[in-house]
Structure 1
């Protein structure tokens, strides 16, 4: 590997992030020392992917906690917590990580080492969780397997390995004969820019296709499974992911292709009953009307740019977690897996 998306340099108190806005043309790192910089990196998608966002926010909290004690630390952390919560609304891992840390730092007797230990635990658990997800997913993969993936939820979107692309990579490394089709993923092209970048690093055979080609590819190229990551799963299994995921699930259903979601349990939002209750982030219309610095629409053309959509649970074959694979009825199967939270991934 020639990159690492997120790295904490403890002695210097620096969070080192690969700048995903400039990939694949340039591998550039940002070194952040203030929580305001972390919040901006989340907002402008320097760091992206639900797990990576949660881990980055955790390190932002750690930055603020260092060198402070007592009421001064608590006030500073309350402000930092609010700033980070406002950075992006849809990815539940952000709020999961901040809630987990608040349970530590909000105690009057909390110590700096306790806060740091919890942050580092969140980082380490992300790696273990992703490896467990791949382990369960490989039980679904034939020896010769063709995947279809949308967006990017790989090493760039997590601490290491990733969720859905982690499955593709793990199948390749386990000796399966792998082919992966990658939606380019408009409007920011995470599939073309980031997923392809990762799979090239690992030597995984793949091809980029335009988002509108998914149904044709499934019909003509013997796709074995579509697999995506996610930013939030409601208690009933409805899943929010990058815009275009719903379209892919519909294409998969019409072509008899199983559609799987790779999701850490931290991404399951049991307080959200259904996908109708998930807040969908809307981003700058300029992401649609231009690519980079090139304008592709008439000047002043209106645009609507939802960053995510919700795939109804009826289109999902299974949700692959670190504790096993949930299947319909998802309200029951996800609730059963919930009892495993806090245990080591299996």
Structure 2
């Protein structure tokens, strides 16, 4: 009997790793980050597009003139290869300008997001076949550019629903209206928003990550009045998944920027548990693991897990139900019991 108990304990010690969350410190661990980190020059497909229109030499002399020429062609005839080339070159230029001319870099990141979106959703742009690498690359250009915009916005102010984010773009003003959509959480539940890519989770054998369109976020709800009402069942901090999704102003349909007239579009904060796709067919990019790992790291539960398993009577004062999501009428609650 003692040997059997010892075997169980040794197995647990070997197989139960500590769950920890560390800052990613710029290390790329999402698919679009890894892909975009390597894209610091136009791909061979984009170079071929430049050659087709006799723009390769112009590109090496003046990127801005080349982009303007490609944009005129795309508006006259929205060819998929041209639209993709504009998005990719805009991203490359944004990266080149990022370290020394932030405002100019933002211009290019906005263009990368807008043209990638046009390629994916504009009805007049012929869609690449799913087997075409540019189809996934367009999603990664959109995601990478949107993440850069979110990072730039966070330098000046906290991103929160029902607020606006003004950005200077191409000499004019672009206003992003932040809206919480399709989520069981309310505006009052959202005390801060973090980028999921800023954290790395270790100690979990599998992670739940869905590839698609959008930038995974962590929504954080801080504790209200402890011990009162529904707060009795709330951890000190609840972290939950969100995905940022932007529908930009079309560069093909509405290309001119009037400096005297601000433009507006909505930065949607989507609940990816409820919403699995955007547009007609593209999955929402989501990270369900990092918010849970972040929430675990903000509690003291790690101190009690062995005691709760081996000597549960010593931690009866900690026994409680904890909600990970708000109560939703019509849903069947799932209760996990730990320590038995």
TM range (shorter): under 0.3
TM-score, with structure 2 as normaliser: 0.24
With CA pairs under 8 Å and 6+ residues apart, which has the higher RCO, 1 or 2?
Answer: 2
TM-score, with structure 1 as normaliser: 0.23
Larger radius of gyration: 2
